[in-house]
Structure 1
Amino acid sequence: MKKLLLLLCAGVITTGYAQQETFKGKFEQLGQMLPTPNEYRTGSGAPGPKYWQQRADYDIDVTLDDKNQRITGKETITYFNNSPDALTYLWLQLDQNVREQETNTQKTSTNSMEDSLSTKSAAGRFAMYDFDGGFKIESITDGAGKKLPYIINKTMMRVDLEEPLKSGENFSFNVEWNYNINDRMEDGGRSGFEYFPADDNYVYTIAQFYPRMCVYDDYEGWQNKQFLGRGEFTLTFGNYKVNITVPSDHIVASTGTLQNAKDVLTKTEIERFEQSKKSFDKPVIIVTQAEAEAKEKTKSSKTSTWTYSAENVRDFAFATSRKFIWDAQAVKVGNKTPLAMSFYPKEGNPLWEQESTKAVKATLETYSKYTIDYPYPVAISVHAASIGMEYPMICFNFGRPDPDGTFSDRTKYRMIGVIIHEVGHNFFPMIINSDERQWTWMDEGLNTFVQYRTEEEQYDNFPSRRGPASKIVDYMKGDKENIRPIMTNSEQITQFGNNAYAKPATALNILRETVMGPELFDAAFKEYASRWAFKHPKPADFFRTMEDASAVDLDWFWNGWFYTVDNVNISVDEVKWFKMRTEDVQIENKSKKVKKGDLSASADNSEMMDFSGGPQPFSLVDTEESAYREFQNRLDDKAIMQKFENKNFYEIKFVNKGGLVMPIIVEFTFADGTKTIEKIPAEIWRKNEKEVSKVFYFDKEVTNVVLDPNLETADTDVSDNVFPRKREVSKFDEFKGKSGK
């Protein structure tokens, strides 16, 4: 079914995103497009009674060479086949191979010449850096030490088995490897090192450092789509034991729980570390800036091995440096007390000491509210230049003050925002484990949405970049040739940040605030997180769960926001004012006979569309006998007429210019200055997707009408959302004016 989704998406792209190519109408159900429910994934969006997933446990020894910036490692992988299938080979990811000289990433990237280029830009654009990257696989053997045949295809490696791995069995094998650590200043990679020339030291942020199992699932078998650099990682849950050997004066931050603190920490550091586990009001400094600065100068030649273990995680990463300052604080989440921790060089202070761990704490609290209680023992924010990247329990984040320690509000809030976002990735996709290689929005978009909720709830007047509807307007009204639907594979997306982060986050915010309401949305969103925690959800599982848990039909919403590049542009095209005909209708501040044919625009066809022409009359007459058909009782026509007396009726025509159907939100201002808002569900468009009329009635006269008054639908042109307004002059009107006729 994945292929069907891709073909449909491709069809939308190649036809200029004409929605009718995919749907008969905007309210057609998605059933024909989504995978058929089965015993693995149900029609409700929940895992089925026979849902299964694989498991991979890792025992890793890795050594970091601080003199030569090199990683050497060996691992034992135990792979558990919980599928109903017999497997004759296993696929592993070799993500470091994205840096080998023959990488497809460079070959398939487009570039061009310019009149003037900086040396850094030119070297990166044309791969002129002299760097020997990629994994060097030294050996692959089974448990008895016998060599296993393998084939490397770019960033993927197939290991062939002597005998099929049957359902319910497990298989252990060993891999030895090494690679050169990349300089992130040169290539901006997700992991690597940063060099500090002032004190001749390094900060290492190490990830994708070991060959990792690909996902094998019920949806498509092996997910072994090549890593080109953008589409991130699809990974299998398992348990880890990792021994990390580094210079003895380094501090290591890592996924998991430190098992040998007495071997690698001083007595004072251990005491502070234990104190932090009981400190809920503020962080405890475990390694001070003065202590870190002293180690920058001494540079021990000895090594120490830090041992970490982690259970039920999909990946593993670490950071290490002698430059690290370290602080930690306990956080109350349900019945757990995870530690929020930060590691940063002095170049991050004073900003990082003031804000980082505070932001980690805020993230754990808010995300736990909207999803599940944070289940892991730690959540770590590591400071590294010009990056935001996430792994289980640890993330690497930018935000550096000026050399004199000062910083702007922009630097502060951007740093807090990236910390919230990257720590939030612990939930999406580290726990709710979506396929990042295929569907970027399922982790970035959902995560950005909850990031916005955290900024709103934990900070005053936070300048959020993504989430509010008004922030996405410029993108939504852009050239459709340069936009892709959200439901597009990571590598084919254009305007990546807007498509995969901002648009889905905004869509979910609109879904919560305008379409469903917070109560229904929050319950359904939490249900999705609970159902798919520590599992592998797909888009259909999210779409179906949100409907199943709320009783709200959202197929029109997923269709418009996720499968098309339509935008919201609804106009107030006409407003007609009516009053029931009586012998003499009294109009406020004047008395006059109401004439048949008075329109919303004044009778002389001036450029103003307003109420100056007064109301149009209409009549109520007694109900004809034939209207009652077989019924014996009768309506009280006079009583009904009395209800209509002195009421003001306003017929409004709304035109859908952007194509994206949405609820209609109308604010009415009355002659006495009071206001009211009417909210009409999106289903009003189900019979006519281009224009609809709706009659509203009030006791008071309306002086002003505004569509989407609080800018909550991402309407791309609000100039036609108001009445009264200047009437658009037609070409015929212009001709009349020029000719004098």
Structure 2
Amino acid sequence: MKQAVFFFLLIITSNIGAYAQVDKQRHGNRFEQLGTDLRSPNVYRTASGAPGHEYWQQRADYEIEVELNDENQSISGKEKVTYYNQSPDPLDYLWIQLDQNQRDKDSETPKIASNKIHPKMNLGQLEDIIWHDMDLGLKIYSVTDANGKDIPATVNLTMMRLDLPTPLMPGEKFEFNMAWSFNSHDRTGFLATRPGYEYFEEDGNYIYTVAEWFPRMAVYSDFEGWQNKQFVGRGEFALVFGDYKVAITVPSDHMVGATGVLQNPTEVLSPKEMERWEQAKTTFDQPVVIRTQAEAEKLEKKRSSDKRTWVFHAENVRDFAWTSSRKFIWDAMAVRLENGKEVMAMSYYAKEANPLWGQYSTKVVAHTLKSYSAKTFDYPYPKAISVEASNGMEYPMICFNYGRPDKDGTYTEAIKYGMISVIIHEVGHNFFPMIVNSDERQWTWMDEGLNTFMQFMAEQEWQRDYPSRRGPAHKIVPYMKGEKHLLEPIMTNSENIIQFGANAYAKPATALNILRETIMGRELFDFAFKKYAQRWMFKHPTPDDFFRTMEDASAIDLDWFWRGWFFGTEPVDIAIQNVKWYKIDSKKPSEVKQDAKVAYEHEESYISRTRNKEDIDQTYLEADPTVGDFYNKFERFKVWPEEEKAYKDFRSQLRSEELEMLDSGLNFYEISFENLGGLVMPIIIQFHYADGTSEVETLPAQIWRMDEYKVTKVFAKDKEVVQIVLDPYRETADIDESNNYWPQKFIPSKFEMFKQGAAGRGTSSGPSPMKKEKK
């Protein structure tokens, strides 16, 4: 009995002894609470991640009149801003964003970008060097108060400070007026920025995408004060919610799409277009074409010299953007959300985008609204617009997207799925950050990363096995295993990131997908994520609010996960270091003797003995049996009666549960794991058995708490294991799968003889089966 108990204790305590000898420096780092790494909770933002009972944010309402000059591609306007100080602080001055100045001749953008001369230089590279010749900045003509009195204004690159005559006290509002203009630019040229125009040489017309076009209020918040960091191109925007009344004057034959609700449709649309528009409002299955391709083509050929003003109102939005062209085809359809609310999905595109856009765009918009609403909150705005504009960028209720077929109407799979993905992504930005209004200039991942994660789910709901580029864990591996000096934590300012797309879009999207699928499970994750979205819709969340809400709503301690994935750059690389196979010594004499026989035969198996079987024709004993005795004839591994009796006596002393364990025939596999990458993660093990079956077991990440580099775990199995595989479903972004197998499995790496250059964004490249079929 003592022997059996000792054996059981030996298995149970073997790992405890190993942990007792762990060097203290090998643990206690990755599982420490974030603590002071996060802002202290207060009356504005609680420890649970929710807005506090004294949460506040500022508000700014705009009344804007703007005119587009289609002859010289300039834009001029005037605006009245009503700024509400809802903070507890008196304000001596206000900060205004002049984002158009980022493209001015005095911009810091080209000054902080390194460049050099190459043996071959293209026009774009040369123009980038001579940026200083550009005249695209915002010209401010006047800044006055409600009584027409000048307000002292100081312009500092992309920011302007208004010095108030008296402090703006809490609860007060301040009205002021501005007049301004700027020259638009070709967004398809070397200055491929978000807004601008595209010129179509064949018919001499333009498509204008007008964004970041008017002086906008900067954010004043409880956690930072004024957000007046300069705009140098990558880090996007922190903006204030408010209501907009915008009158847009354009050539009378232009079609205009914009943020907000059109207030004068009968003045700007033809009777036929009005009739189709009314039809679209009750059509839920197929888009209704309101301005057809044939109608747009007629307008392309004859320019109107008249003007027409489109008036839009938008409530509780953080920005306003618009588009205008006589080339536009316009289609729309109604979308019914889960709560029964109906909104409009619509698209604006030129004939050059057909047939691709007519078939897909508006349906993708409708799908995105439904998919995102189900996982966050019902889309609160009345419409969402997708505009084909050779780039991708988002604004409230309107976004600009690429995806143009070749001139013969054919397109590659890459263009089709690229277009669908970018529409989902940009429409999805209505939720993050247009409604859940994070500060993009500081934390790009809070909108791009969260939105890319949502995009991945919407793509998979669009088509089974959709070829998503970002989201699945294994697709982040090339970035995670890159050179250390080229990596930054996700929690890095956007202007300081080298591999921007991988860091701010792909890695956070992957992290969230891992959280949902592997760490938290879908049910807990979905509840917590929706709670975060609903808590912070139409508010200004920070990363702390997101981290805290996800834990608060799920009862899962995720500090180790945020620390590793968002504050660190270590990759995942968990390896099987060693596997030992044990069975319980049953003490049964027949089994004991059989084991002894196997051991004896192994001990006596060596090269000389093997060769002597052939080389020695006859031994002396074989020639003269009289030299043999008892030991040449006895049964070496015979079970003796006294051994059988001793075994029976041993069993009679054991309790029933001990006998059950002794006779179980269990196989014990002691597996040693090594954390080579540094990023702690759950250990997911797949056991393959001799009978052809398999099963998966998961060890929580907390198994690394006592030693963050090595851990040993014993598994009891009824069946014999023939293979062990780590991370069989590629859930953890393990950067080296070759060490995930026992016995070791060799995975060949492949190389390319020739590497094809990447195509321009939104253009076809590679083989086009559609084109071949058409020929």
**What is the TM-score with the length of structure 1 in the denominator?**
0.88
> Match for residue 663 of structure 1?
682
SS in 2 for 1:420: helix
Work out which of the residue numbers 135, 153, 157 in structure 2 matches 1:150.
153
Displacement after TM superposition at 1:139 (Å): 0.1
Q: Distance between the aligned counterparts of 1:44 and 1:603, measured in 2?
A: 69
Work out which of the residue numbers 527, 542, 546 in structure 2 matches 1:538.
542
> Match for residue 724 of structure 2?
705
Q: Distance between the aligned counterparts of 1:348 and 1:447, measured in 2?
A: 25
Alignment of 1:51 with 2:70, yes or no, is no
> Match for residue 316 of structure 1?
320
CA contact (8 A) 1:585 1:594 kept: no
SS in 1 for 2:366: helix
Q: Percent identity?
A: 59
Alignment of 1:587-602 (within 5 A): 592-593=595-596
User: Number of paired residues?
Assistant: 673
Alignment of 1:359 with 2:378, yes or no, is no
How well do the aligned residues superpose, as a CA RMSD in angstroms? 2.2
Displacement after TM superposition at 1:24 (Å): 5.3
Alignment of 1:384 with 2:389, yes or no, is yes
Work out which of the residue numbers 321, 324, 331 in structure 2 matches 1:327.
331
Q: Distance between the aligned counterparts of 1:427 and 1:517, measured in 2?
A: 23
CA contact (8 A) 1:296 1:323 kept: yes
Displacement after TM superposition at 1:121 (Å): 2.8
Alignment of 1:508 with 2:512, yes or no, is yes
Alignment of 1:683 with 2:702, yes or no, is yes
Alignment of 1:492 with 2:496, yes or no, is yes
Deviations 1:317-357 (A, max 9, x none): 00000000000011111231110100000000000000101
SS in 2 for 1:558: helix
CA contact (8 A) 2:477 2:733 kept: yes
CA contact (8 A) 1:80 1:170 kept: yes
> Match for residue 426 of structure 1?
430
Work out which of the residue numbers 116, 134, 137 in structure 1 matches 2:137.
134
> Match for residue 475 of structure 1?
479
Deviations 1:396-419 (A, max 9, x none): 000000011111111000000000
Deviations 1:128-168 (A, max 9, x none): 58431110000000001111000000000000110110000
Displacement after TM superposition at 1:203 (Å): 0.1
Alignment of 1:293-692 (within 5 A): 293-333=297-337, 334-385=339-390, 387-584=391-588, 592-593=595-596, 637-644=655-662, 645-692=664-711
Q: Which runs of 5+ in 2 are unaligned?
A: 1-23, 608-646, 648-652, 748-775
Displacement after TM superposition at 1:298 (Å): 1.1
Q: Distance between the aligned counterparts of 1:400 and 1:210, measured in 2?
A: 29
Query: Which letter does structure 1 place at the counterpart of 2:166?
Result: E
CA contact (8 A) 1:585 1:592 kept: no
Q: Distance between the aligned counterparts of 2:589 and 2:308, measured in 1?
A: 93
CA contact (8 A) 1:666 1:708 kept: yes
Alignment of 1:65 with 2:69, yes or no, is yes
Q: Distance between the aligned counterparts of 2:601 and 2:400, measured in 1?
A: 67
Q: Distance between the aligned counterparts of 2:135 and 2:392, measured in 1?
A: 25
> Match for residue 16 of structure 2?
none
Q: Distance between the aligned counterparts of 2:483 and 2:201, measured in 1?
A: 45
Work out which of the residue numbers 181, 199, 221 in structure 2 matches 1:178.
181
Displacement after TM superposition at 1:646 (Å): 0.3
Deviations 1:513-549 (A, max 9, x none): 0000000000000000000000000000000000000
SS in 1 for 2:336: coil
> Match for residue 714 of structure 1?
733
> Match for residue 633 of structure 2?
none
CA contact (8 A) 2:572 2:680 kept: yes
Displacement after TM superposition at 1:582 (Å): 1.6
SS in 1 for 2:695: strand
Alignment of 1:77-116 (within 5 A): 77-116=81-120
Displacement after TM superposition at 1:461 (Å): 2.1
CA contact (8 A) 1:39 1:48 kept: yes
Query: Which letter does structure 1 place at the counterpart of 2:175?
Result: S
Q: Which runs of 5+ in 1 are unaligned?
A: 1-19, 605-620, 622-634, 729-741
Q: Which has the higher contact order (CA 8 A, sep 6+)?
A: 2
SS in 2 for 1:438: coil
Displacement after TM superposition at 1:65 (Å): 0.3
Q: Distance between the aligned counterparts of 1:694 and 1:595, measured in 2?
A: 28
- Runs of 4 or more above 6 Å deviation: 594-599
Deviations 1:593-625 (A, max 9, x none): 4989999xx999xxxxxxxxxxxxxxxx9xxxx
> Match for residue 37 of structure 1?
41
CA contact (8 A) 2:105 2:133 kept: no
Gap change, CA 1:520 and 1:636, over 3 Å in 2 = farther
CA contact (8 A) 1:360 1:379 kept: yes
CA contact (8 A) 1:289 1:346 kept: yes
Gap change, CA 1:91 and 1:41, over 3 Å in 2 = same
Of 695-704 and 257-266, deviating more is 695-704
Alignment of 1:215-230 (within 5 A): 215-230=219-234
Query: Which letter does structure 1 place at the counterpart of 2:443?
Result: W
Higher Cα radius of gyration: 2
Displacement after TM superposition at 1:183 (Å): 1.1
SS in 1 for 2:188: helix
